[in-house]
Structures are given as structure tokens and as C-alpha cells.
Amino acid sequence: MKIRPKRLMEGDTVGVVALGGPFSMEYLPAKLALLEELGLKVKFGETVGLTGKYLAGTDDERLNDLHNMIQDSKVKAIFNLRGGYGAARILDRIDYQLLSENPKVFWGFSDVTCFHTAFAEYADIVTFHGPMLSSVGANELSDLSKRMFQQLFTPFEIQYDESLTPLQTLVPGNVRGEITGGNLTRLVNTLGTKFEFDANGKILLLEDIGESLENIDSMLNQLRLSRKLEEAAGFVIGHFTDINGGTLEDVWALFEEYLKPLGKPAVAGFMIGHCEPNVAIPLGVEAILDADGKVLRILPGVE
């Protein structure tokens, strides 16, 4: 069992950091409205407002920002401002024991996938795959997306079925296991490194944005050759946005081609990823995937 962070309470202070790409300060106030609606106080990390071609400041600045937020006992959660790229550059310098000793809500997705998998492996904590603050402006999130933030305050089991969005069974069956994963590109980037993601016996979530069918095929093949698909117990196929040269149905057909021979339960169509609504879920907790009934159940991520 991984360490679940403590639930948030109204009035808590949460940290906002830019551990990947930079974000323009002029757009920041609108992006913090949701946190304020939730009754949270915000502490800005030193990386917020830092600029660069594609990184928010230097590696040292982003690493120090993360460590400072982890060590600050007043900060009850860490929210990532935006993704892009940059997480992997500091993975080998993070003090994972510090995080184990100071577990707190860690929220984000996309490039943040690198943190999710590393924190699960080396800090043994539950993290949250949810919308970046850069996409949570007052009128940019659906009611469903906003409701998912409530899981940080009141622990509840998430049940995702076709009452939320249409789903498609790619491979039938039922499976129970820890849910892990995230962005397909970033997961493939970990292969062959100390931070290679662990799929063994787990339900694997996969999503991505702006990739061609050829690239998605190539990455799935790399997961096949590295035996990650074989090791996984089941598959939750999240949203694939802005597909170059194909449709979402083409992507699902590609997944079916790779996954059907394995006989592991797989369901596609979950609005988890670069999409709206973006259904936030905890990673590192037990989940049940019923591919026959097209239902995903996930245990709470906070205590």
C-alpha cells in the first residue's frame, strides 16, 4: 500500500510551481480562481514567472522549488502550473526520502507523468493525474472536471462508466490492480533508465496529445518489445488529442491490434488526459477495471 497524503481542508495553503515549461504571469490570476473557490490559500513557488525558451528557469531553480514546497509544513499540496518539458531533467537529483517523510498531494499530468512514476517508485506515495492549472480558468473547466477536485477534500471512490462518457471495450475481462501510467510519450522516455516505469501486475493508463498514428504505433511497439504491455494486468486508454493523420477510432484500432493478443482487459474512451472534461484520478491506489461492463472503479487517493 502506497502512502496516501492527508486530505485538504478549507483554509489550507497549497503550493503552485512551474517544474516544466514557463507560464506568463499576466494570465496567472484567472488560473488561480478555482483554488480560491475551493477555499485554498496559494503560495507561489520561485519558478512561477521564470522564463526561458521552453523551461521555467534552470534545473537548480526547479529542483529547489520542489524541495522547498515538500519541506514547508504549511504547504499541504503541490499543484503544477503547466507541463511541456522539464520534469525528467531533475529526476535523478530529487530527495525522494524527503517526500516519503512529508507526503502531500501532488497534482498534474502530461510531462508531470515523469514525477508520478518516480514518486511511486522511490517515495512510495499516491499522486494525482489531473488538469494543470494553466487549463483551469474560470470558464475553461466543465462541472465534472471541477467536481474531481473534491476528492482531495472528501475521500470517495471514483466510478467511471458510460454515464460520464461513451466507452469502448477493446479486450473483455475483469482485473484488479494498482493503477499507474499517464502520458504515453513520457512513459516511453523512461525506458532504459533508473526511472523506468513499473507496469508489473498494474492497470496501465495511457494518453497523449499531438502525435501521429505512426508515432503512437512506434511507442506501442516499444512498450511491446520492452515487455511492458505483457507485464501489465489491464489497460485504461485515456484521450488522444490532436492526432496527426488519423482519428480517435484509428488510435483505438491500433491499441486493439497490440492488446488483443495479450488477452488483458482494455477499455478506451476515458476522458483522462489532454481533454475537456479531464477526469482527475489518483495513481498508485487499487482499481478495478470491468471491461465487460465498461466500468472503472478507483479507491480514494487521500486519507
The residues annotated with a catalytic role in the active site are 110, 207, 274
CA 84 to chain centre: 13
Q: At 59, which amino acid appears? A: D
Q: Read off the C-alpha cell for 122.
A: 522511490
Nearest one of 237, 236, 238, 218 to 226, comparing CA atoms: 218
Backbone angles phi, psi at 146, to 5 degrees: -65, -40
Could you give the CA distance from residue 118 to residue 126 in angstroms, rounded to a whole number?
11
Backbone angles phi, psi at 46, to 5 degrees: -70, -15
Q: Write the DSSP assignment of 7-19 as a string of letters.
A: PP-TT-EEEEE-S
Are the C-beta atoms of residues 41 and 76 closer than 8 Å to each other?
no
Helices (H) and strands (E) in the chain, counts: 10, 14
Q: Which residues of 222-240 are buried (b: 16+ CB within 10 A; e: fewer)?
A: ebeeeebbebbbbbbbbbb
Query: What is the side-by-side strand order in the sheet with 281-283?
Result: 41-44, 13-17, 75-80, 105-108, 127-129, 281-283
User: CA angle, corner 280, sides to 20 and 26, nearest 5?
Assistant: 45
For cell 513557488, what's the residue?
Answer: 45
